[in-house]
Amino acid sequence: MDIVKRLLILITLLAGNAFGQGIKPTGVFLADSIEVGKPVYFSLSIRHKPETEVFFPDSSYNFSPFELISQRSFVSSTDERGSLDSAVYQLASFDVSRVQSLKLPVYVFFKKDCTAVFTSPDSVFLVKSNFLSTQQDPVLIAETQLLPLSRQFNFSILIGSVALIIGVVGSIYWVFGQDIYKQWQLIKLQRRHLEYVRSFNRLMRNARERNNIKDAEKAIIVWKNYLERLEKKPFATYTTREIMDNMPDEDLADALKNMDSIVYGQGKSSNMDVYLEVLKTGATRIYRNKRRFILDSPEI
């Protein structure tokens, strides 16, 4: 049985070799000469039966004395003469030999094995136009042209400028910081007061012209919210008695009581706009007192 198996294997190998010998790939350089390190192209093609599978070498193959740069394969074309497969390899050589040769294989698949069928060697000649022989003495060429230099960012000037700005700002704040802060507080206080006056006047005008109790109630809410921001106390949740305890004023107390009777009693009064004007005047008086307190305080 061993002899039979060996005979079958031998027959298979011989058949594979015979098949491989029947196919001859073609490989040629597309140029007659090369320069060191510059690309050269090598064309590889093979014509075979359509049912035969062939494989071309890839980047894992040793192309010595050349090095593979890239590979481009083309789509198979079939006619009455058979199928044609081809590829072009971009190579480069750093060898200084005068004549350099290369042959590449095409792998023909037969049953469970591949047979490598090589092309005939093709050669190129080395042109030494860009190659300086080590036996020659190098010649130095003077370069007298000035080259422009790129500007570099000066970090020392940046750090100095930042330090100067910080110093100037710090000095200004140290001398005028308290006054600047007072002015900022006064500006915010004035802006809030103007917003309050605009809202209160609009609601008071609507209440007077339309004799509308809802607008009068909204005006009282605006008045309480403004006092809450001005005095930092929860006036919006205070009752009239609690407001008077925190801000004793007979005119304000009388105006609030009358407005409570109008709003909660749903009764109309010709003096409603008078009471609202009293509330507005009281809030303006508190605003002025707050402004005077900020101006007279040495520190806030």
pLDDT category of residue 267 using cuts at 50, 70 and 90? low
Confirm if 259 and 239 have CB atoms less than 8 A apart.
Answer: no
pLDDT category of residue 133 using cuts at 50, 70 and 90? low
How many Cα neighbours within 13 Å face the side chain of 281? 12
pLDDT category of residue 16 using cuts at 50, 70 and 90? very low
Q: Which two tokens stand for residue 110?
A: 């037969």
Asked if omega into 105 is within 30° of 0 (cis), the reply is no
- The predicted-structure confidence for 155-168, as pLDDT tens digits, reads as follows 888 898 999 899 88
Helix residue ranges per DSSP H, the chain = 2-21, 155-210, 213-231, 240-246, 250-265, 272-296
Among 54-68, 137-151, 152-166, 286-300, the minimum mean pLDDT is found in 137-151
Q: Where are the domains of the chain?
A: 2-129, 159-296
Among 16-30, 57-71, 139-153, 194-208, the minimum mean pLDDT is found in 16-30
- Domain 2-129: assigned CATH number: 2.60.40.10
Predicted TM-score (pTM) of the model is: 0.43
The per-residue pLDDT for 11 is 32
Q: Which of 276, 279, 281 is nearest to 207 (CA)?
A: 276
Q: What is the mean pLDDT of residues 87-94?
A: 94
